[in-house]
């Protein structure tokens, strides 16, 4: 799963997305001030199913100190989700 920075009118907001195996993942950077999302400083990760019209679910442990930590948490969540779909 490869995360890509979202480019366009939201570029200053610090948003990355990736999708794999029927799931979409988004990482956003939050800070107490400035452009973008406001909240406790760090990288907030969330996921949702691409096949169901449901709200995003926050990945446990968010916010993370680094983008790499958030990416690893998303990969771990994807592993959990796909194992459960396979019935393991």
Residue recorded with tokens 């794999």: 20
- Give the number of domains in the chain: 1
87 pLDDT tier (thresholds 50, 70, 90): low
pLDDT score recorded for residue 88: 53
pTM of the model: 0.85
pLDDT tens for 4-40 read 888 777 656 789 999 999 999 999 998 888 777 788 8
Residue 16 bridge partners (DSSP): 5, 27
Contact 78, 53 (CB under 8 A): no
13 burial via Cβ count (<10 Å: 0-12, 13-18, 19+): middle
- Higher-pLDDT residue of 88, 14: 14
Contact 3, 26 (CB under 8 A): no
Domain extent at residue 77: 4-85
């Amino acid at each position: 799963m490869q995360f890509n920075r979202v480019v366009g009118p939201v570029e200053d907001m610090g948003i990355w997305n990736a999708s794999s195996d029927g799931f979409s993942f988004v990482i956003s950077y939050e800070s107490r001030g400035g452009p973008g999302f406001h909240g406790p400083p760090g990288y907030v990760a969330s996921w949702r199913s691409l096949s169901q019209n449901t709200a995003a679910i926050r990945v446990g442990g968010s916010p993370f100190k680094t983008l790499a930590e958030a990416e690893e948490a998303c990969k771990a969540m994807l592993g959990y989700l796909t194992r459960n779909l396979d019935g393991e």
